[in-house]
Structure 1
Amino acid sequence: MSATIKDIAKLAKVSHMTVSRALNNSPLIKEETKRKILEIAEQLNYVPNYNAKSLVLQRSHTIGLFFTSMVQGTSSSFLAEAIRGVGQEVGVQYNLFLRGIDDFQEFSSIHHRRFDGILLMSQSERDDTFIRHVREQEIPLVVLNRNVGDPGIVNFVSNDREGAYELTRYLVEQGHTRIGLVEGIAGYKSTQERKEGYLRAMTTAGLEVREEWLIEGRYDVESGYLAMSRLMALSLEERPTAVFCCNDDMAIGAMKAAAEAGLQIPADVSVVGFDDIGFSHYTNPPLTTVQRPIEQLSRMGARKILELIEEPSAVGELVLLDTRLVCRESVGTLR
């Protein structure tokens, strides 16, 4: 006869609930107690019965990781960092369900019997309908990447506005006064935050912001390429000497457009990005950018959702994570 949780609890001299939490890697159990329980479970060759456990605890052992969209405005590197961060925390005790909100016509399939908890990597206020549905279903929820402004929601966000301000100020310090901006997708919070950081830095420095220097992009390589082509079509006296692309994918496209126009980076034009994706190290020249702690933010969110699954709480919190300016070789100094 196979060992049970009660057998482990008896030997460990703890309650069966403590054993259950330890086996589920709950952060609420002390490491010493968890280690003792796992050692006893291994000695008894304990094999968990997930079907029985799900019925007793009314758990699906599934955590949903949702994005505003997995196609539009979500780069492959952003996606990979988010999944890696969450995966490192939830381990093998939970199945991870990935989907974009824009895949759903309605949300009737998202309910508490299907998900033990949900992490939302949010970009847009359009996600608020989804958030309301999840809360009505009483599914533990953590929102990442966008400040939803709700004191009842647990929220982890990177300080994009300050990162954009620091990046633009760095360009100003290098002598640039004509600085263009390739924006992200209209309506996305990240687009708004990065633009506001750029505008604050330009205003603080007393610099002019021309309408023709502000071009809407889509957070992909092609839109960066097209935006830079438009900027470089301006006369030499009118075009920017530096271009701030609101993510690294667009910056890579912008660098290609500059090269095809016969311009050298940074001798003829400086280019900067945002996110610090892996490819930014290997562009020619390496890209100056802002590092966002996406993997750290995702890990913190996953850790919190595990806590909320074990101990639901109506208390929210907002955690703001710092960004970091990464100076490489794509910015030249004007004298």
Structure 2
Amino acid sequence: MATLKDIAERANVSLATVSRVLNYDATMAVSDATRQRIFEAAEALNYTKRGREDGSHPTKQLTIVEWYSQTQEMEDLYYMSIRISVERAARRAGFQVTTVYGGEVAGFDNHPDVTIALGKYSPAQIRTLVDVSQHLVFVDFDTLAAGYDCVVTDFEHAIEHAISLLQQHGAKLIGQLSGREVTADHQLVIEDPRVEPFRRKLGSQYNHKLMAEGDYSRQSGYNQMARLIRQLGDELPDAFMISNDAMAIGALKALLEANIDVPDRVQLVTFDDTSIASYAIPGLTAIHVAMNHMGMAAVDLAMEAIKENRQVAKKVVLGTRLVSRESTLF
């Protein structure tokens, strides 16, 4: 069985660094590249954290379906963090864990006891998952109405709180950079769930000319902010809410290239709070999404469904917290 020492040697870092990164120590200052090396080393060595008290061997099979390919996941710390949290929680709970990428299910050797699906799926993909799964849980996709367990984030209260703080600190006009996603089979477009709460909170102050939509990538954040800077000029909003860290990094780059001061001229609030938010210059104020707890909640739902043979779908909604940094005045 691989040890923390094996991972440290493979990733060329200290044993303490490996331990703190794999335990999601929020106080640990480590670069994205180092964190990535540690995660990749742990994956390559098939590291399993020891935690079972009874010493029994896993007997149930759990498959994680990651809607991203491995290449896509390398560029998105959000879904990587959720996947790793699911794997860790599942192994602690005694499951044998298999992970497949790109929404692929055709390679299953047999039907797993539990499938935890990360990301967004079309109705056709969901039907395929149902056919190969005894219990099915979705993470970051609200499937309660369709009759399936899911774990999601409370965006409504997070957005209300952030907008209130921005307004209290001088922001009269607030814009938004949102995202749009498409399922791996290209059958379903997923609108950003942050758009409607944002619109409702602003009410009569909402102005569609101050909004832009990207694809959650760094480049789209840069392109959309650069376009707004050109189009709006002096009417550029006093603040923006941006739907993930990658887009926020791109938007920040466009603002700084245009010599627009952050936060004195434009304040920025992002979502997710992956490590890149704290390493940006200036640091990005972020709504912290509980990625680690999403994985644990998904495994808890799966275990409950197995134990109780629950026939009704259940949704777990996780709260957020605001982490203030240098991109805002609060």
With normalisation by structure 1, the TM-score equals 0.71
Larger Rg: 1
Deviation at 1:229, TM superposition (A): 0.5
Deviation at 1:82, TM superposition (A): 1.0
Cα deviation code 1:190-238 (max 9, x no counterpart): 85321112111211xx4141x3311111111111111111111134432
Any residues of structure 2 matched to 1:151-300 within 5 Å, and which?
152-185=147-180, 191-203=191-203, 206-209=204-207, 211-300=208-297
The DSSP-based 3-state class of the residue aligned with 1:273 is strand
Amino acid at match of 1:99: Y
Equivalent position of 2:34 in the other structure: none
1:66 equivalent to 2:65? Answer: yes
Cα distance, 1:142–1:208 mapped onto 2, change above 3 Å: closer
Is contact 1:152-1:315 (8 Å) kept? yes
Distance in 1 (alpha carbons) for counterparts of 2:297 and 2:206: 40
Segments of structure 1 that go 5 or more residues without pairing to the other structure are 1-30, 42-47, 51-58
Amino acid at match of 2:292: E
Is contact 2:137-2:301 (8 Å) kept? yes
Equivalent position of 1:95 in the other structure: 97
Distance in 1 (alpha carbons) for counterparts of 2:98 and 2:244: 27
Is contact 1:73-1:219 (8 Å) kept? no
Distance in 2 (alpha carbons) for counterparts of 1:73 and 1:229: 26
Is contact 1:110-1:134 (8 Å) kept? no
Cα distance, 1:191–1:252 mapped onto 2, change above 3 Å: farther
Amino acid at match of 1:207: Q
Distance in 2 (alpha carbons) for counterparts of 1:187 and 1:196: 19
The DSSP-based 3-state class of the residue aligned with 2:170 is coil
* RMSD value, Cα: 2.9
With normalisation by structure 2, the TM-score equals 0.72
Segments of structure 2 that go 5 or more residues without pairing to the other structure are 1-50, 184-188
Is contact 2:73-2:79 (8 Å) kept? no
2:302 to 301, 305, 329: 305
Amino acid at match of 1:163: A
Amino acid at match of 2:97: N
Aligned length: 272
The DSSP-based 3-state class of the residue aligned with 2:86 is helix
The DSSP-based 3-state class of the residue aligned with 1:234 is helix
Amino acid at match of 1:176: A
Equivalent position of 1:322 in the other structure: 319
2:139 to 135, 144, 169: 144
The DSSP-based 3-state class of the residue aligned with 1:193 is coil
Equivalent position of 2:20 in the other structure: none
Distance in 1 (alpha carbons) for counterparts of 2:236 and 2:73: 27
Deviation at 1:252, TM superposition (A): 0.7
Distance in 2 (alpha carbons) for counterparts of 1:320 and 1:136: 26
Is contact 2:270-2:284 (8 Å) kept? yes
Deviation at 1:138, TM superposition (A): 4.7
Amino acid at match of 2:158: G
1:130 equivalent to 2:125? Answer: yes
Is contact 2:114-2:133 (8 Å) kept? no
Distance in 2 (alpha carbons) for counterparts of 1:261 and 1:237: 12
The DSSP-based 3-state class of the residue aligned with 1:185 is strand
Higher share in strand: 2
Is contact 1:73-1:218 (8 Å) kept? no
What percent of counterpart residues are identical?
Answer: 24
Distance in 1 (alpha carbons) for counterparts of 2:232 and 2:87: 50
Distance in 2 (alpha carbons) for counterparts of 1:259 and 1:137: 49
Deviation at 1:93, TM superposition (A): 4.7
Cα deviation code 1:93-127 (max 9, x no counterpart): 513213122xx5xx55457x24232101233xx43
